[in-house]
């Protein structure tokens, strides 16, 4: 259960957005919906399916919006994410990382029994054996994808031979069912230049296609070919390898993705839907103000957050501790910020910033309209 | 309420520590208690009091251990931290940052009515006026400290004149009571060289002493002089300015503080009590292994975490995403890590790492002995 929501009384109050308790994670539902619709329209036009990644939003309400728009299911990076979203009523998951160890495998089988569709990736023979034993003991089938390393060097088999060996091992286990392949080119997603990103992504997908060809030649069909992300969503369909995309960040975008030309024509398919609202808590120095959002409220592993409103153009944020940030006003600006002033910051890197919060403050225009719990916040295990 | 604790069944089971569900935040209670005792002994020997900072641990159980050892109260960086710890039974708090804005001031007065001792710092006249009005309306006194900027440029008045003006304003408000001064030299705490740190800290404290002298000359006594941190705990008493220390990280230490010679003689007064346990989830490449702890489980704003056990000496961790880390084994090592292998990592920067988790897994030796909720995790508002 997330912590108490502090602003229940503001919901529906005209202009209540400006009274939100800070720091807060503020989600613009109009922009969110437009982003969801834009991705759905793109995928439909390309005849490719979506299996959006819930590691980004960690929220059942957003997951439901994705499912209502035709998503096949949700991806989760961790078992606990899927458990949290399942507890909130979602039923179709792909676990995009291996689930390893006896205790987690036990939880996996419990979750599988509660889901309409649960798949998990594998890249290790011992892990396949553990899953085979667990599925046999549970008396129901378990759907697997073989994870293929297409260049990230993080998870996934590193050769066609290894993939074939895993496929044979899966085929030999009565309760395991091979449904296809996953190949995620994580390192490619943020290549800023479209053409360079296209080349890199298609090279990665060629690896995946070769593995599929070898498996299908050995009578291991791969109906599901899953991978990709927001950074390559406009690039991957043309390669003809994937039939579904694991897009995540498109729902809200962030400063990091704003630097990436996603579509090749510098159009902006997705707009910023997510800000951290903060307030000035101290303003004793000319030209700077201290706000109540530091590294416990803004993931600082990427670029700095960008001011959306509340401070003049050219204001720069820098983290000044776990709880505080410094706003440096542009030179020559002579309307100082004062304690209590509200500032909205576009989130720098959406996934880990969202993971700092228990709730989305949902707004439309100037009105706080809802509060959505981030059920899988912190669900890392 | 924190999320469900996954390892309840392991508590008390001999050797159960090795089965802990990962990633987990594992607190060695023997080392924690030794650290708490060492700081208490030091403070007693120096005739200085402790008001430990709860922003580090965010945990009522640890706060109680500090209170049992004679702490005056707990510091909190944010109002919501104090509210969460108050809800868990703690009653004495100093809010070390200004509490700004009508809605937070209302919460502050509610909290004050529930506490035996609540103090808050101020650095702004308008904020003092707001607090004066709220205390008058509530019909009870509110204790204030003037926050003095001793070099951090984050919060605090920047001149003796400003401090005097605030003191006069406080004195003019019937329900506000000035109890003293706070000066926190945050930028000094991690200066690695002891002598350089000593000089910098004493320069900061000289600023604070000058403000006190001016206030006391104007008949504004300052019985409380609070500041300092783990980095200067061995340095500040000798300056004779502070009468209490806001130490935080000493309870568990971290890789960042391990690089700081805290005592000037390279002795280690505080030992590492806190690790993130992780497991290998993939090991398809020679010489590297992927573990299930990334930037959502280890704050990566400082140095890399250090392997405590489970991987050979010389193994290097690097973050490979929000959910994963890469362990690079030392060259020539030829016992590969395998999926499921357990690795313990000393936390790199304790405060924000703790803020990633809902529970401490508490161990003594090889036994998981308890689970402590991190009540104020995420309490940033």
How far, in Å, CA of A44 to CA of A108, rounded?
32
Note whether B77 and A292 are within 8 A (CB). no
How far, in Å, CA of B256 to CA of A322, rounded?
14
B381·A323 Cβ contact <8 A: no
Note whether A254 and A346 are within 8 A (CB). yes
B300·A295 Cβ contact <8 A: no
B104·A156 Cβ contact <8 A: no
A8-26+269-373 shares its CATH topology with A31-255: no
Closest-CA residue of chain A to B355: A296
Residues 83-142 of B with CB under 8 A from A: 84, 97-98, 100-101, 103-104, 123-124, 126-127
How far, in Å, CA of A82 to CA of A78, rounded?
7
A183 interaction partners in chain B (CB closer than 8 Å): none
B323·A126 Cβ contact <8 A: no
Cα distances (angstroms) measured from residue B194 to each of B41, B47, B150, B190, B262: 21, 21, 19, 10, 7
Q: If we measure between CA atoms, which residue out of B197, B108, B46, B107 comes closest to residue A7?
A: B107
Class of domain A31-255: alpha beta
B322 interaction partners in chain A (CB closer than 8 Å): 55, 77, 351-352, 355
Fold of the B8-26+269-373 domain: Lyase, Ornithine Decarboxylase; Chain A, domain 1 (2.40.37)
B55·A323 Cβ contact <8 A: yes
Q: Which of B285, B295, B319 sits opposite A158 (nearest CB)?
A: B285
Q: What is the CATH code for B30-258?
A: 3.20.20.10
- B187's tokens: 């930028």
Q: Which of A155, A292, A381 sits opposite B282 (nearest CB)?
A: A155
CA distance B49 to chain A (A): 25
ipTM of the complex: 0.96
Residue B288's DSSP bridge partners are: B328
The DSSP call for residue A53 is: B
Q: Residue B17: phi, psi to the nearest 5? A: -55, -35
Q: Where are the domains of chain B?
A: 8-26+269-373, 30-258
- Cβ neighbours for B48, distance < 8 A, ≥ 6 positions apart: B236, B237, B242, B243, B244, B245
B196-211 as b/e: b if 16+ CB within 10 A: ebbebbbebbebbbeb
Note whether A307 and A317 are within 8 A (CB). yes
Q: Which pTM does this prediction carry?
A: 0.97
Task: List helix spans (H) across chain A.
Answer: 29-46, 54-57, 60-68, 79-87, 102-114, 125-138, 160-171, 194-217, 255-258, 350-354
Best mutation target among B26, B284, B341 (most A Cβ atoms within 10 Å) is B284
- Cβ neighbours for A217, distance < 8 A, ≥ 6 positions apart: none
Q: Does B266 touch chain A (CB under 8 A)?
A: no
- A256's tokens: 């990091």
In order along its 381 residues, chain B shows pLDDT tens digits of 457 899 999 999 999 999 999 999 999 999 999 999 999 999 999 999 999 999 999 999 999 999 999 999 999 999 999 999 999 999 999 999 999 999 999 999 999 999 999 999 999 999 999 999 999 999 999 999 999 999 999 999 999 999 999 999 999 999 999 999 999 999 999 999 999 999 999 999 999 999 999 999 999 999 999 999 999 999 999 999 999 999 999 999 999 999 999 999 988 999 999 999 999 999 999 999 999 999 999 998 889 999 999 999 999 999 999 999 999 999 988 789 999 999 999 999 999 999 999 999 999 999 999 999 999 999 999
């Amino acid at each position: 259960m997330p912590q108490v929501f502090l602003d229940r009384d503001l919901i529906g109050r005209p202009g209540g957005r400006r009274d939100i308790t800070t720091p807060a994670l503020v989600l613009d539902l109009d922009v969110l919906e437009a982003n969801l619709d834009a991705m759905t329209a793109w995928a439909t036009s390309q005849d490719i399916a979506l299996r959006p990644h819930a590691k980004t939003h960690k929220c059942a309400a957003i997951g439901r919006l994705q499912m209502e728009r035709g998503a096949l299911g949700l991806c989760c990076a961790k078992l606990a994410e899927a458990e949290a979203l399942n507890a909130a009523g979602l039923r179709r998951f792909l676990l995009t990382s291996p689930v390893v160890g006896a205790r987690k495998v036990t939880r996996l089988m419990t979750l599988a029994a509660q889901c309409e569709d649960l798949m998990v990736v594998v890249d290790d023979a011992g892990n396949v054996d553990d899953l085979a034993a667990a599925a046999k003991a549970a008396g129901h089938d378990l759907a697997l994808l073989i994870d293929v390393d297409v260049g990230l060097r993080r998870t996934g088999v590193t050769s066609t031979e290894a993939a074939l060996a895993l496929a044979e091992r899966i085929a030999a286990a009565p309760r395991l069912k091979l449904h296809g392949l996953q190949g995620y080119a994580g390192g490619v997603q943020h290549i800023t230049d479209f053409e360079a990103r296209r080349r890199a992504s298609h090279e990665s997908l060629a690896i995946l296609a070769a593995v599929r060809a070898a498996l299908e030649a050995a009578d291991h069909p791969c109906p599901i070919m899953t991978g990709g992300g927001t950074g390559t969503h406009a690039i991957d369909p043309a390669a003809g390898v994937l039939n579904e995309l694991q897009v995540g960040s498109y729902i809200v975008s962030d400063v990091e993705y704003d630097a990436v030309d996603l579509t090749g024509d510098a159009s902006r398919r997705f707009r910023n839907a997510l800000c951290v609202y903060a307030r000035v808590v101290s303003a004793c120095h000319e030209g700077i103000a201290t706000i109540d959002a530091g590294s416990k409220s803004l993931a600082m592993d990427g670029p700095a957050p960008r001011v959306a409103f509340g401070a003049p153009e050219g204001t720069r944020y820098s983290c000044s501790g776990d709880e505080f940030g410094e706003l440096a006003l542009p030179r020559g600006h002579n309307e100082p910020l004062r304690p209590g002033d509200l500032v909205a910051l576009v989130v720098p890197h959406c996934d880990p910033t969202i993971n700092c919060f228990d709730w989305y403050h949902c707004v439309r225009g100037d009105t706080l309209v809802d509060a959505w719990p981030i059920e899988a916040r912190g669900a890392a295990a």
